[in-house]
Amino acid sequence: MTVRSNRAAIRLADYYMGRDREYRAELTPELRANARDIVKRVNRLLKRAGMARKVSSGWRPAALNATVPGAARGSKHISCLAIDLEDRDGALDAWCMANLPVLEELGLWLEHPKATRGWCHLQTRPPGSGNRVFEP
């Protein structure tokens, strides 16, 4: 029963989105460890939810993040502590809201679905408020 056998699982390469080549110098060992960690936790979540999802936004090098409309300057995507998953029907967001103890168990925090229509933002560090579900 390993995630490796799950063909729908998110891979590290999906998280890097090819940016690990162009921005190699920014991708420190700490960030690589963070990336492996979030991919592992999110795959566990998707397995529990029984859903497959694609990465709509993974790692954002700082220079790139600065060009993303509406992206926070201190975005956790920069440090490989956040991920956005495609969620057009909102089913994953809804599942997360209905299963907050699972997020707690896996060490994940969710941006409130009303602020993320069409995608689901998860992160591996608490926001300033410490709330499991937070407003941006």
Q: Which residues bind Zn ion (CB under 5 A)?
A: 82, 84, 121
CB 55 within 8 A of CB 83: yes
Ranked by CB distance to Zn ion, the top (closest) residue is 121
Least gap, CB of 41 to Zn ion (angstroms) = 15
**C-beta of 25 vs 55, nearer to Zn ion:** 55
**C-beta of 84 vs 93, nearer to Zn ion:** 84
Listed in sequence order, the residues at least 6 apart from 109 whose beta carbon sits closer than 8 Å to its beta carbon are 103, 122, 123, 124, 125, 126, 127, 131, 132, 133, 134
**C-beta of 9 vs 55, nearer to Zn ion:** 55
Least gap, CB of 91 to Zn ion (angstroms) = 18
CB 11 within 8 A of CB 54: no
Using CA atoms, how far residue 134 sits from 34, 87, 114, in Å, is 21, 18, 10
